[in-house]
């Protein structure tokens, strides 16, 4: 079978159809990779460094010879790893689409796989990622004070065939000082961008606007790319207007189960903005087991913080659509869909 070299646009179309192998070193892969890729490293991190040094200081030929010393003994293992995926068609890429992907592609092709390689390698994928954020997408922003159940509502919208991107799920962070408690480590900035770009690519062709939660540009340790952030800030905002006590009840149920010491550490982190007395009282109430009243203090703080962010938009009066809701409920999805369609009809 002939090895086929594909452009990034054609390569991406096949990612969900065939196993995808990143043949870069584990360190490169762990930092960031094409979402869905399996690491099938041609070299370890140390071996890659040795080969690269030989290439720069000696010659291309010398680097290849050293690389073959490493490659030869692991050929069988690499074939067997590829076989485990159960498909005779595979996708392979390295950093620039050069020797590493060519070597692994040759081996797998020799064994009987149909192999597709990525022209320009991971570098071309990154160019695609960065370009994808500059597109002017049609967006609907789901707004609302803390405790409005926005994340749950995104899932309800998705069930009703609305295009949705859950930024907090991609960032592995809930977007506040408490947002990392109980969650795994966040991805690198580069990996977050890769995940986000692939989500955008999958649903960009939808005739409907894409729903995103109203976020700060920074979600924990990662940032929403500037171009997309500006797009979000100039898109319609559907604000879930839910009574304070309903939101307080919801947020207490959600966050009240978390580790008390971690909650207290988070309160200390926002002590200056929250105010010393408020922070002290919120921690004391947690120690007393009065989570509801502790969260009442915190919710008042986050309401003021979000209100400022919401109205710090140009043309906010034309962008903002208030959606009155009696409580936090998945059924609120019907209300925001109706509001979205009504707003679109007026334009």
Token pair 């994928």 in the structure block, residue: 125
Contact 286, 263 (CB under 8 A): yes
Which sign does the torsion angle of CA 265, 266, 272, 278 carry?
A: negative
190: how many CB neighbours lie within 10 A of its CB?
Answer: 14
Crossing angle, helix 45-57 and helix 60-83, to 10 degrees? 150
Q: How many CB atoms lie within 10 A of CB 68?
A: 11
First-residue to last-residue Cα distance in the chain? 54
β-pair type (164-165, 210-213):
parallel
Which pairs count as long-range contacts for 292-300, CB under 8 Å and 24+ apart, including other chains? 292/248, 292/252, 292/256, 295/248, 295/251, 295/252, 295/255, 295/256, 296/248, 298/267, 298/274, 299/145, 299/146, 299/147, 299/244, 299/247, 299/248, 299/251
Beta bridge pairs of residue 231: none
Sign of the alpha-carbon dihedral angle for 172, 176, 177, 178:
negative
Active-site residue (options: 94, 263, 266, 283): 94
Helices and strands (DSSP H and E) totals, the chain: 17, 12
Crossing angle between the packed helical segments 276-287 and 260-269, to the nearest 10 degrees: 180
Burial status of residue 175 (CB atoms within 10 A of its CB: 0-12, 13-18, 19 or more):
buried
**Catalytic residue list contains 325:** no
Euclidean distance between CA atoms 257 and 189, whole angstroms = 29
Catalytic residues: 94
């Amino acid at each position: 079978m002939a090895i086929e070299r594909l452009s990034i646009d054609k390569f991406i179309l096949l990612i969900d159809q065939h196993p995808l192998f990143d043949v870069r070193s584990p360190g490169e892969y762990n930092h960031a990779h094409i979402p869905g890729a399996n690491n099938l490293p041609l070299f370890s991190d140390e071996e890659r460094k040795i080969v690269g040094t030989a290439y720069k200081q000696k010659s291309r030929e010398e680097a290849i010879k050293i690389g073959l010393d490493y490659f030869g003994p692991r050929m069988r293992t690499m074939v067997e790893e590829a076989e485990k995926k159960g498909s005779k068609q595979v996708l392979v890429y390295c950093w620039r689409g050069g020797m590493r992907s060519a070597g692994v592609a040759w081996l797998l092709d020799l064994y009987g796989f149909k192999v597709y390689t990525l022209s320009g390698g991971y570098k071309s994928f990154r160019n695609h990622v960065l370009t994808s954020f500059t597109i002017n997408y049609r967006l609907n922003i789901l707004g609302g004070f803390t405790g409005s159940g926005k994340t749950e509502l995104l899932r309800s919208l998705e069930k009703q065939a609305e295009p949705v991107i859950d930024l907090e799920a991609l960032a592995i962070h809930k977007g506040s000082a408490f947002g990392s408690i109980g969650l795994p480590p966040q991805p690198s900035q580069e990996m977050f961008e890769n995940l986000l770009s692939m989500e955008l690519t999958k649903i960009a062709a939808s005739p409907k606007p894409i729903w995103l939660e109203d976020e700060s540009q920074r979600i924990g340790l990662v940032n929403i790319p500037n171009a997309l952030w500006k797009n979000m800030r100039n898109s319609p905002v559907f604000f879930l207007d839910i009574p304070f006590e309903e939101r307080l009840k919801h947020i207490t149920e959600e966050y009240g189960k978390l580790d008390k010491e971690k909650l207290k550490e988070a309160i200390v982190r926002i002590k200056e903005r929250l105010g010393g007395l408020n922070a002290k009282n919120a921690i004391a109430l947690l120690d007393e087991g009065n989570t509801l009243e502790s969260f009442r203090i915190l919710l008042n703080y986050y309401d003021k913080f979000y209100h400022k962010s919401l109205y710090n938009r140009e043309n906010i009066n034309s962008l903002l659509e208030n959606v009155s809701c009696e409580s936090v409920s998945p059924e609120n999805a019907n209300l925001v869909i109706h509001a979205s369609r009504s707003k679109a009809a007026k334009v």
